[in-house]
Amino acid sequence: MSQTMKPITAAAKLGIYLPAAPEEFRNSPITRDEVDELRANPPAWLQELLRNGPFPRDVVAQKLGVSRSGLQRAGVTEALTADQIGELIAEPPAWLVEERETQRKVLAEKTRQGTGGGGGGRR
């Protein structure tokens, strides 16, 4: 028997915004096998969410090239659709330009230190 997970965990593994998923997905435990099947053969609703969103904050941050903290600092707390993200990329507001630069510096510093990831102390 495959281990089950909460819908929020399954949504995170699939990279989707849970409130936008169908009710049966949101309200039932999901097995790892079911998540694997959804990845291998995504139904229409999942294809739509993966293509157009709305996307969870971690996916929005990745698509915009900023950190989740950067989204928070900018006051972006809601899930965004592909169209909304596209508009921000096409005409980046000042906060997005600043947060992208911050993210670029953080990644460059991690590369310079050879850490490549989290950890590291504060300066």
35 in Cβ contact with 13 (< 8 Å): yes
Tokens of 121: 């102390």
- The domain ranges of the chain are 4-52, 57-113
Q: 0.75 cut: is pTM over it?
A: yes
Query: Per residue in 36-86, pLDDT tens?
Result: 999 999 999 999 999 999 999 999 999 999 999 999 999 998 999 999 999
CA distance 112 to 56: 30
